Structure 1
Amino acid sequence: MPHVTYYFSMLSPWTYLAGSRLEQMAAETGTTISYRPFDIMALFPRTGGKPLGERPPARQAYRLQELERTRKKTGMALNIHPAHWPTNPAPSSYAVIAAQQAGGGDVGALVQALFRACWAEEKDIAEDSVIRAALEGAGFDPSLADSGLLSGAMEYADNLEKAVADGVFGSPFYVVDSGQKFWGQDRLDDLRAHLKGEL
């Protein structure tokens, strides 16, 4: 049974635009998923990346065009300039980690709900009420927003180290137990083909 380690930043619009495609292909191919939110701002200086505001104007302008094109291709609602971005990604990341540890709900649905809250619903995913609502909507105990803080914080820091060790340099990033790596939501078709043994 294949396994995908899914590295992502809660600040990434590209990860939001991946939607539920990873979960759909996992169901199709019998693949399991480990969700690993990480601090992309801490990753960039260690892997040669730059925060958005430090990139050349041409790259920033191109990003906006690509986001709009991808929004149209996916049919997903997207506010390219959301009201609460950037925000503190740690609280929502801790909630995802705690939910995965607790089990009993749908981690993929939780991740997508949090991204949707930021990029389509103009909500601040650092706020406790937003996180609790997403947890409950995905079938988890909303109190995980509180009880998972310590373990979430420890694993969140560890996820960064694992990301660096696994050669991750962006979000979303998919590492298959076969050793193959795929960067970006625009590589999900390639990931599907690989999981099916076609690539």
Structure 2
Amino acid sequence: MATITYYFSTISPYTYLAGTRLEEIAAKHGAEIVYKPLDIMGLFARTGGTAPKDRHVSRQEYRAQELVRQAKKLGMDFNLKPAHWPTNMAPSSYAFIAAQNAGGGDLGALAHGFTRACWVEEKDIAQDDVIRACLSAAGFDPGLADSGLLVGAETYARNLDEAVEAGAFGAPFYITEDGARFWGQDRLEDLDAHLAGEL
């Protein structure tokens, strides 16, 4: 079975725009997804990137146009200036890791649920009630929001280290077991073609 290691951030707008297309591609090719939520700001700092607020105005303006264009192209709801962004991504990431370890639900739906809550539903994904609602909607025990915090913190930090070592520098970032790297939701088509042996 092919494996796709998926580095993502629960507050990334581009992770939101990826939707659940990765899960559809993985199912098509019989591939397993290894989910790795991480600190995207930490990843930027360690790989030469810059936080959005610190980018040159021309880059900020382009990002604003591109996000709206991509959302429209994909037919997805999107709020360019959500009420709760940026926010602390650690609590939702820890909850995701707890759900990953517990099993029994849909991890793809959970990842998308967190990003949708931020970028569409005007919710603060650092808040316990929002995290619990996302867990429940994806088929997980909402009590996972309060469990495994130490393991979550350790795994979250390790995911960042692994991402840097593997060559990831943004989110979403996909790496296949043969080392092929794909950065951004707009490269999912290329990932699909690669898994099909066409690229």
Query: TM-score over 0.5 for the alignment?
Result: yes
2:80 & 2:197 partners in 1: Cα distance? 36
1:130 aligns to what? 130
Task: Kindly provide the CA deviation profile for residues 12-37 of structure 1, in whole angstroms up to 9, marking residues without a partner as x.
Answer: 10010000100001111101001101
2:171 aligns to what? 171
Give the drift of 1:147: 1.0
1:161 & 1:197 partners in 2: Cα distance? 30
Task: Kindly provide the CA deviation profile for residues 79-108 of structure 1, in whole angstroms up to 9, marking residues without a partner as x.
Answer: 000000000000000111111111111000
Runs of 4+ aligned structure 1 residues displaced above 6 Å come to none
1:118 aligns to what? 118
SS in 2 for 1:159: helix
Q: TM-score, normalised by structure 2?
A: 0.98
2:18 aligns to what? 18
1:29 & 1:165 partners in 2: Cα distance? 26
2:58 aligns to what? 58
**Structure 2 unaligned spans of 5+:** none
Task: Kindly provide the CA deviation profile for residues 62-81 of structure 1, in whole angstroms up to 9, marking residues without a partner as x.
Answer: 00110111011111110000
| Aligned residue pairs, count | 199
Task: Kindly provide the CA deviation profile for residues 94-152 of structure 1, in whole angstroms up to 9, marking residues without a partner as x.
Answer: 11111111111100011111111110000000000010011111111111101121111
Give the drift of 1:10: 1.5
Amino acid corresponding to residue 155 of structure 1 in structure 2: T
2:90 aligns to what? 90
1:100 aligns to what? 100
Q: TM-score, normalised by structure 1?
A: 0.98
2:115 & 2:54 partners in 1: Cα distance? 24
**Structure 1 unaligned spans of 5+:** none
SS in 1 for 2:142: coil
Q: Return 139-148 or 185-194, whichever deviates more.
A: 139-148
Amino acid corresponding to residue 167 of structure 1 in structure 2: G
Could you say what the CA RMSD is over the residues aligned between the two structures, in angstroms? 0.7
Among all aligned residue pairs of Structure 1 and Structure 2, give the percentage whose two residues are the same amino acid.
64
